[in-house]
Amino acid sequence: MDILFIAAECAPYAKTGGLADVVGALPQYLRAMGHEAIVVMPRYSSINGDRYGLRWFHGPMGVWMGNTQEWCAVHTASSGGVPVYFIESQKYFDRWGLYHDANFNDYQDNPRRFGFLTRAGLQLCKDIGFKPDVVHAHDWHTALAPAYLKIWHWNDPLLGSAASLLTIHNIAYQGRYPAYHMDYLGLQWGNFTPDKFEDHGAINFLKGGIVYADMVNTVSPTYARETRTPELGYGMAPYLNAKGENYIGILNGCDYALWNPQTDPLIPARYTCDDLSGKAACKRALQQRFGLTVSPDTPVIGIVSRMVEQKGLHLLAQCIEDIVANMRVQFAILGSGEKALEHYFGELPARYPGRIGSYIGYSDELAHWIEAGSDFFLMPSLFEPCGLNQMYSLRYGTLPIVRATGGLDDTVQQYDEATGDGTGFKFYEASAHAIYYTVGWAVSTYYDRPQHMQRMIHTAMAQDFSWERSAEQYVRAYERAIQNKRGG
């Protein structure tokens, strides 16, 4: 089948989280299975065209938005054999960040920016004659695609038969904006009703996408169950429950071509579960690079995270100083986000030299170093749709310490202190108290039960969360979406 991906992010070109990893990897695996997949995304000014081999492809291309025709150009490149098309618009994408400015203020025209991206993706299909069997939309940014297919393209000879799948990567972000954008978006005011796009007087992109999509999925089975509840559905639970069996959870895959300590070109030394000497070298290099006391016998806890409330780092801030005061342990922290959290974690190395190291910002190389050089990886998320870092950690023999929510609960097996079975340490309460004592449990296991550590490391590195399995489930979801489309 032919699949069109429209997304705000795609690795390696533009990334803020797991959305980019999925859009970067899944089409490659679909093509390996014999399907045709293309990706449409913005040409952000941060994308280095020379580095990625972008070339002009098409344009000028007119895109109707309500009663306004916008113009853009299209560039293209190939990622793992997948054609990626970049929508170039100085008006909408030639600016500092993907979604917000340098002060983390959302761009006020985001609804127009991503409504335009979505319409441009569909227009490109018409211009190049690509007839998708399925349009795969991702998060609120492109959640209007299922609606556009049924409102504007229902009788289009190229797009009229296309089914839609909407993937929710994080239901907390819904694209809720003032209602006056309806005219520009061309959604027709008849759709501004509580059972479609209207949300307490505002337009809600994700809500309308859920209603109009032929299939909806999220990125782990547990998160699919959680989002059907009032507590974690963020107001969308009634609409997800109304989808019935047409709302499912598909666990994200892990791209082991990029995240594998046997072949990783970014880490100081390669290693396998049968020879962990390279991991010891990675730990030593990590300690040196983060200004930690070089000590092979002191456990290192790694963190790679967006510094936002969802990730639970405000809870960690309440207990990390007690942890380093009462336990012989070190931290290597990489992340950026809310300024208060950046400031707090950025100052800790000066206050705890040799025990805490931090890098405020993002570095792909440092992320690999932390995965390879740490003994534990901490993810105290309030909720986590899937999470990928815990999967990376497992392959690198870095045992996860996680809150048992969403994909973290699906992928980490709880340590059994009686047998040494398991792949990590899970806690259930979202509190600093729970973080403190679970870290203490992991640290005591490191010192007091080294034979259990070795058993868990071997079990963890043998886990397989490859994309092949997930891609097969997406194909079945596409097939069901097509059946639902044909069934009206």
Binding residues: 15
**Using omega within 30 degrees of 0 as the cis cutoff, is the peptide bond preceding 60 cis?**
yes
* 3-state SS class at 47: coil
Unique residue bearing structure tokens 């972008």? 54
Going by C-alpha positions, the residue among 79, 82, 109 that lies closest to residue 93 is: 109
Rounded to 5 degrees, φ, ψ at 102 are -65, -20
Unique residue bearing structure tokens 């979604």? 99
Residue 378 backbone class (left: φ over 0; alpha: ψ -120 to 50; beta: rest): beta
For the chain, the distance separating the N- and C-terminal CA atoms, rounded to the nearest angstrom, is 20
CA–CA separation, 216 vs 206, rounded Å?
Answer: 11
HSE of 237, CA atoms in CB hemisphere, 13 A: 12
Task: Give me the amino acid identity at 287.
Answer: Q
CA–CA separation, 212 vs 214, rounded Å?
Answer: 7
Q: Report whether 146 contacts 212 (CB < 8 A).
A: yes
* 3-state SS class at 243: coil
Per the annotation, binding residues for ADP-alpha-D-glucose are 15
Going by C-alpha positions, the residue among 345, 353, 330, 335 that lies closest to residue 283 is: 330
Task: Give me the amino acid identity at 204.
Answer: N
How far is the CA of 7 from the CAs of 75, 251, 320, in angstroms? 15, 19, 37
The two tokens of residue 350 are 């000066």
The two tokens of residue 439 are 């870290």
The two tokens of residue 335 are 């992340």
Unique residue bearing structure tokens 């310490």? 401
Q: 474 exposed, middle or buried (CB, 10 Å; 0-12, 13-18, 19+)?
A: buried
Q: Which residues, listed in sequence order, are joined to residue 404 by a DSSP beta bridge?
A: none
Going by C-alpha positions, the residue among 187, 49, 206 that lies closest to residue 139 is: 206
